[in-house]
Amino acid sequence: MEAIGLAGMGAQLAGTAVGTVGNVMAADTNAKVLDAQARGIEQDTNFQLRQFGREAKLKAGSNVATTAAAGIDTTRGSSLFAELDFAKQAALESESIRRSGKMAADSKRFQSRLTKQQIPFDIMNGVTQGASILTKLAGK
């Protein structure tokens, strides 16, 4: 009967070890996923910036062409101010896109670091559980 109890505790110890390894591997995998998401956000942000820059240049060119075709001098007066305002707004929009992407990527990296910091606690928890089981085994 005592052998069955010892075998059960041994199985419990092995289960604790396997569980601990599984927890550590899951945390590491989750951290890698978060890092990959951060890289994806950065790539998407760069794409959005390029697309917005292209669209802004096309719009600015269209505005100049339309104004010039109407016979209005685009080098001075209110049409020039409108173009300058458009350029400032485009620069602000670019910064907004860049800032939003950076914040999202930084958030994912922070979550990744928190997940990685949990790994030592998962290991300590597994070791503590294993030690408790070994203490019970030693007492039998």
Global pTM value: 0.64
Which tokens hold the place of 69? Answer: 């075709």
**What pLDDT is recorded for position 71?**
77
36-44 LR contacts (CB < 8 Å, sep 24+): 37/108, 38/104, 38/105, 38/106, 38/108, 38/109, 38/112, 39/105, 41/101, 41/104, 41/105, 41/108, 42/101, 42/102, 42/105, 44/101
If we measure between CA atoms, which residue out of 74, 76, 53, 56 comes closest to residue 65? 74
Q: Where are the domains of the chain?
A: 2-139
Could you report the per-residue pLDDT of 45-100, keeping only the tens digit for each? 999 999 999 999 898 888 888 877 877 776 777 777 788 888 899 999 999 999 99
**What pLDDT is recorded for position 42?**
94
Percentage of the chain surpassing pLDDT 70?
94
